[in-house]
Chains A and B, each alone.
Chain A
């Protein structure tokens, strides 16, 4: 099993923490799914606002690894400064590097992502870059020091699944030793299973779970789907073929 900067994850499911109906539902989603990682952000808090303190009290009791993000950043400077604040706040070197380049698709900016990754890796961060399945970009990110890649399946929040199945498969083949996580665009649990069947190491879900009618059940389904996909991949599944192959032996069949 590939490790994430030396850490072995108990479950291939990573869960975002945003947009749940309530903190209790969020906690229940983690409990029922067995998710191993929680993604979080840093946001303004001043005056008498204690929402962040309350949120942290909830998250630290989940007993999962914390992966802070740089969501909303468009420039290298914003992302690097946010990463520094997150490192201190959450006491972790892990950072999910998001540098957005396109406001409608929330596609990562490959140039700024790479530059920020170089800066952060050199500064001792353990970078999880949100990227596309572009082989050249991913190669550069690995050269920069990234030991994990997080390509999108589809744009955030779309639920479209693995938009470029062949590109994602090629990425898996190109980087056999790098942990790969599908970061965005997953909808139904079968898409998570599909990603894991491809040999991916984890999937990250947020809105697909948080916005479901029953988020905890939805999270549990994704946890099982992720495990099923991982187990299926490790079982070295048989290649598909075009023509039928009977399962029941012809030998011994009665002549009637």
Chain B
């Protein structure tokens, strides 16, 4: 399945958002997620299914003003 992660097109075997985060080494990281412009809370990652063409955003704390 082909999806977009942080604007980059990727092939993935993950069927859930939680599996995708494992693939990307972010399962334990301090991050937040959105799929198709909608926030997905951490508690829902295990059950959030991914579909071909999904647009996933993974964000972390960063510098800000």
Q: How far is the CB of A80 from chain B (nearest CB, A)?
A: 8
A59–B65 CB distance below 8 A: no
In the complex, A46 has a CB within 8 A of chain B? yes
B31–A89 CB distance below 8 A: yes
Closest chain A residue to B41, Cβ basis: A88
CA distance A69 to B65 in the complex (A): 8
Interface stretch among A5-13, A15-23, A237-245? Answer: A15-23
9 extra interface residue pairs, beta carbon distance < 8 Å, beyond A18-B65, A19-B65, A84-B39: A41-B63, A41-B64, A42-B61, A45-B62, A46-B6, A52-B60, A53-B29, A84-B32, A89-B30
A interface residues (Cβ-Cβ under 8 A, vs B): 16-20, 39-48, 50-53, 55-56, 59, 68-69, 71, 77, 81, 84-86, 88-90, 156, 204, 206-207
A17–B64 CB distance below 8 A: yes
In the complex, B5 has a CB within 8 A of chain A? yes
Q: How far is the CB of A62 from chain B (nearest CB, A)?
A: 12
In the complex, B1 has a CB within 8 A of chain A? no
B65–A156 CB distance below 8 A: yes
On chain B, the number of residues with a Cβ less than 8 Å from chain A's Cβ atoms is 27
B8–A46 CB distance below 8 A: yes
Q: Which residue of A17, A48, A81, A89 has the most chain B CB atoms within 10 A of its CB atom? A: A89
A40–B59 CB distance below 8 A: no
Closest chain A residue to B56, Cβ basis: A46
CA distance A118 to B1 in the complex (A): 38
A52–B64 CB distance below 8 A: no
Interface residues of B in 7-65 (CB under 8 A from A): 7-8, 24-26, 29-34, 37-39, 41-42, 57-65
Q: Which residues of A contact B34 (CB under 8 A)?
A: 81, 85
A81–B37 CB distance below 8 A: yes
A53–B33 CB distance below 8 A: no
Closest 7 CB pairs of A and B: A52-B60, A41-B64, A16-B65, A206-B65, A45-B60, A85-B32, A43-B62
Q: How far is the CB of B41 from chain A (nearest CB, A)?
A: 6
B33–A85 CB distance below 8 A: yes
Q: Which of A18, A46, A53, A56 contacts B64 (CB 8 A)?
A: A18
CA distance A90 to B64 in the complex (A): 13
Q: Which residue of B41, B59, B61 has the most chain A CB atoms within 10 A of its CB atom? A: B61
A40–B24 CB distance below 8 A: no
Q: Which residue of B5, B8, B42, B58 has the most chain A CB atoms within 10 A of its CB atom? A: B58
Q: Which residues of B contact A43 (CB under 8 A)?
A: 59-60, 62
CA distance A40 to B26 in the complex (A): 20
Closest chain B residue to A52, Cβ basis: B60
Q: How far is the CB of B30 from chain A (nearest CB, A)?
A: 5
